[in-house]
Amino acid sequence: MPKAPDQDLTLLLARVRAGDAEARSELIGLTYAELRGLAGHVFQGQPRDHTLQPTALVSELCLRLLKTDAAGWEDRKHFFRAAACAMRNLLTDHARAKKAVRRGGDHLTVSLGSSDVADPGPPIDIVVLDEALTRLAALDKRIGEICELRFLVGLSVDKTAEILGISPRTVELDTQFIRAWLQKELSR
């Protein structure tokens, strides 16, 4: 997936923070392909007739990002952290709405595996994962962010480390902890 040049993105984010309305549209144009790639990863293993598709998710995500206060978007990592959080919220809202309409119906599931794991394990209901993730983030914010980026968005260890500004080894160790913690929590 093409990567938006960091310098261009940082300058664009500065324009967005300064209130340049045109810069927000340029920001979406510059990052759309990467956001679409992240959304595509989230939907791997989902039924083709799922009511929410990657393109629709990214469209909703872009609308949400266009309306969001961009004060915290200092650089690439902050922007993609905000995008991951917004994506999580959109997916959770969609799953909750579907459950409300049809109890146990067509809701999104995710896996505790990642694209670099051969057997990702059984899928997990996104609403249940969101509740567990909220509890985990309350214990440790960085661990919650790693969980969100690795398991929900599907980023690699290196990409997660880059976005959070930590070492890949820290991401690997925290990922092991997260898997164990979530398996314990989700088995209740």
- 108-119: per-residue pLDDT in tens? 555 555 545 444
Residue 91 clears pLDDT 70, i.e. is over it: yes
Angle (deg, nearest 10), helices 21-42 and 54-67: 150
Instruction: Answer whether residue 1 is part of any domain.
Output: no
Q: Which of 41, 27, 119 is nearest to 84 (CA)?
A: 41
- 56-74: per-residue pLDDT in tens? 888 888 888 777 777 678 7
The pair of structure tokens assigned to 176 is: 């092991």
Residues 37/156, Cβ–Cβ less than 8 Å: no
Instruction: Answer whether residue 60 is part of any domain.
Output: yes
Output the pTM of the full model. 0.63
Residues 49/106, Cβ–Cβ less than 8 Å: no
CA distance 91 to 116: 22
pLDDT of residue 110: 52
Q: Please compute the mean of the pLDDT values over residues 132-152 and round it to a whole number.
A: 86
Instruction: Answer whether residue 80 is part of any domain.
Output: yes
Instruction: Answer whether residue 147 is part of any domain.
Output: yes
110 DSSP β-pair partners: 124
Instruction: Answer whether residue 172 is part of any domain.
Output: yes
Instruction: Answer whether residue 84 is part of any domain.
Output: yes
Structural domain harbouring 148:
6-186
Instruction: Answer whether residue 47 is part of any domain.
Output: yes
Number of domain units in the chain: 1
